[in-house]
Structure 1
Amino acid sequence: MLMGRVARLYYEHGLTHQEIADTLGLSRIRVTRLLAEARSSGMVEITVRATDTLFADEEVALSAAYGVGQVWIAPDSGDRAKAERAFASVGAEAVASLLEPGTVTTVGVSAAVARVASALPITQIGGEFVPACGSTAGLTTGANGHESALKFAEHTGGRAHHIPAPLIAASPESARYSSADPGVHRALDHAASARLLITGVGGVEHSAGLLFEAMSEADATDLRTRGAVGDIAGRFFDASGQAVDGLLNERIVGLTLDQLRAIPVRLGIAHGPEKVGALATALTHGIFNALVTDITTARALLAARA
């Protein structure tokens, strides 16, 4: 296969593009294109053996500004697909460093967390992964906590639990009935006992989070009226970091905000301009004590603290 021959001559034998072109009777441009295709197809994988973080100064600054124990920052670019892959890779690095053998991890509803779960390297660290709340009806992006818990378990040789209930019940009575179900109750108790929480953060606009996209305009308006600025795992908080009460909160099947905050290590995974306000509040008031974000969001968070 021509692409493989070109890749071996370049990476294993150190020939230049021109030397390969001359050896194989190709144009230099074609050699360049074949090498690019070899990398994009996965034929060639490059490993950089370095421990340096990508944005050490910004990580230290964010940690100091918000009192966050650990920060990981991904690069950003104009290519959305490339940026999302980089973000998922850095997120997977963060999760891998925080997981401990045999412990319980609680997982929130988040598209970003779902991508990180898929990017996590295969290991046999084990452990248990439990959703923080029920599932959003009709969600097909793999972003439900149950789906992410399954993916984390698959990649670590661990076990996943399921909460057989909706995230938002039809009424407060339905939510209480679901939460009282023995299977749901046991799973939520197990989630509350976790050492690590992995979750995204949602904002209060329809483009800023999966939960807002799933709710009615009446519920969204009520939350904004009550001062909500963001949510984690379905639990909304205000500008002072306190839980937002109301009918929607009573319909959520999942851990309370106080239970989520009681988990020792709380890793927030989020990026984007629509998340800055909610992230800044969550960091300021200790809802998160570890963070994965991208460099653009990191700089916006630092500017918000200046």
Structure 2
Amino acid sequence: MSRMRIEGSKDAAPRALDYAVARTIYKVLLMYYQEQRTQADIGKIIGQSAATVNRLIKQGRDAGMVEITISPLFDFQHELERRLTAETGLEEALVVPAEFDDQDLVLRAVGQAAAHYLLSRLKDGDTICISGGKGVSAVVEGLRTTRSYKASVVPATGLVQGRHYIDVNHVASELAGRLGGTAYQIHAPMFADSDEQRDMLRGVSAVADVLDRARKASIALVGIGSVLAAGSSYLDFALRTWSPKDRAMISNAGAQGEVIANLLDATGALAPYPRNALLVGLAPDDLRRIPCTIGVAAGPAKVAPICSVLRGGYLKTLVTDERTASAVLDSMQEKS
């Protein structure tokens, strides 16, 4: 938001302008900037052409009769964005105000900001690879388009049955539907039961084709997951699918965060967790080769995971809220 002040004092007006001209310019400036009249309308009022009105406006600006100030409404978020890019290696950061205590509402606002950013980068012919998760689902929910895109949406991992937001095929279909694009589906589980089964699944032509498309995507849209925190989708999946022992295994591996179902340690490297090797999906290093990688996360439980992903250098852009961004910067500084 900007504010416009029209200077009308005798000290501001007479820079190389005589009084009569300065008075006319002042009247024109008031009508143009404060009354929001068009130059054509102003011309009719003062009996001059629109071109003359345009010239008078320029004269007034050059003479110092117009002062524009930008409201500091978003200064705090802008400073956080500047620091995130300067201190973490990100190319871009989007920080939204944390206007709510309800984390679901905060994530919704973050999703809307990420959706707007996605559309600003999306071109016809692009391929978007995605993870499942609440963050990516929030982006899909926040998406508002004015046209259709000839874009493809492909899963970055195998499939998890269950809640709609962790079902990557469902999320891909929803995103493609809102964009007017094409969704590819993967017909393989997220994790194999053995090395042999993993190799077999990755070797199935339909699965291999989807994962190859994901690796060659122009945009990656991924959530950043917590691991052991309450409400963690990964932990919920592990305890429902595997065994309570997996919680101890995850903790012993020093896992701090999750991206495209890969568990990472505090440095951003793959954690020594055996099930990482059984994943049917992209590796974190694959994200580095995608031109535009967008990570979406918000909330206190996501601070350590975001730090882990940033230290690994897997993202080009982070979209989060101001509280989470502040905590991430503090945490990164403490361990630097």
Q: TM-score, normalised by structure 2?
A: 0.71
Among candidates 113, 128, 147, match of residue 152 of structure 2: 128
- Structure 2 residue runs of 5 or longer lacking an equivalent are 1-70
Which amino acid in 2 is paired with 1:270?
Answer: A
Q: Equivalent residues in 2 for 1:85-100 (5 A)?
A: 85-100=108-123
Deviations 1:251-298 (A, max 9, x none): 211112222332222111001111101101211231112101011101
SS at 1:91 equivalent: helix
Partner Cα distance (1:81, 1:273) in 2: 12
> Is the contact made by 2:160 and 2:168 (CA closer than 8 Å) also made in structure 1?
no
- 1:242 maps to 269
Amino acid across the alignment from 2:256: V
Q: Which residue of 1 aligns with 2:129?
A: 106
2:179 to 136, 143, 156: 156
Report the identity percentage: 28
Among 191, 197, 206, which residue is 1:174 paired with? 197
Q: In the alignment, what sits opposite 1:62?
A: 84
More off after superposition, 124-133 vs 173-182: 173-182
Structure 2 CA distance for aligned equivalents of residues 53 and 116 of structure 1: 22
- Amino acid in structure 1 at the alignment position of 2:316: N
User: Does residue 292 of structure 1 match 2:319?
Assistant: yes
Q: Is the 8 A contact 2:107 2:297 kept in 1?
A: no
Report runs of 4+ in structure 1 exceeding 3 Å deviation. Answer: 79-82
Match of 1:202 among 210, 225, 244: 225
Q: Distance in 2 between matches of 1:53 and 1:163?
A: 41
Task: Name the amino acid aligned to 2:158.
Answer: G
- 2:282 pairs, out of 248, 252, 255, with 255
Alpha-carbon distance in structure 1 between the residues aligned to 2:138 and 2:226 = 19
CA contact (8 A) 1:109 1:143 kept: yes
Match of 1:233 among 248, 253, 260: 260
Distance in structure 2 (CA, Å) of the matches to 1:206 and 1:86: 22
Q: Which residue of 2 aligns with 1:40?
A: none
Q: Are the aligned partners of 2:164 and 2:170 in contact in 1 as well (CA < 8 Å)?
A: no
Does 2:331 correspond to 1:304?
yes
Looking at structure 2, the residues matched to 99 and 129 of structure 1 have their Cα atoms a distance apart, in angstroms, of 12
Q: 1:136·1:167 contact (CA, 8 Å) conserved in 2?
A: yes
When Rg is computed on C-alpha atoms for both structures, the one with the higher figure is: 2
Cα distance in 1, alignment partners of residues 229 and 310 from structure 2: 22
Question: 1:189-236, CA deviations, whole angstroms, 9 ceiling, x for partnerless residues?
Answer: 111101111101112214253122100332232232222211111111
- Against the structure 1 CA distance between its residues 270 and 80, is the aligned structure 2 distance closer, same or farther, given a 3 Å change threshold? closer
CA distance in 1, matches of 2:91, 2:301: 24
The structural deviation recorded for 1:121 is 1.1
* CA distance 1:99–1:53, change in 2 (3 Å): farther
Query: What is residue 206 of structure 2 aligned with on the other side?
Result: 183
CA distance in 2, matches of 1:155, 1:189: 24
Alignment of 1:4-153 (within 5 A): 55-76=77-98, 77-122=100-145, 123-137=147-161, 139-153=162-176
1:272-283 matched pairs, under 5 angstroms = 272-283=299-310
Q: Distance in 2 between matches of 1:79 and 1:254?
A: 33
Deviations 1:14-43 (A, max 9, x none): xxxxxxxxxxxxxxxxxxxxxxxxxxxxxx
TM norm structure 1: 0.77
For the residue of structure 1 that corresponds to 2:166, the secondary structure is coil
Structure 1 window deviating more from structure 2 (175-184 vs 258-267): it is 258-267
The whole-number CA distance in structure 1 between the counterparts of 2:263 and 2:84 is: 23
C-alpha distance in structure 1 between counterparts of 2:272 and 2:282, whole Å = 14
Equivalent pairs, count: 255
Structure 2 CA distance for aligned equivalents of residues 64 and 245 of structure 1: 30
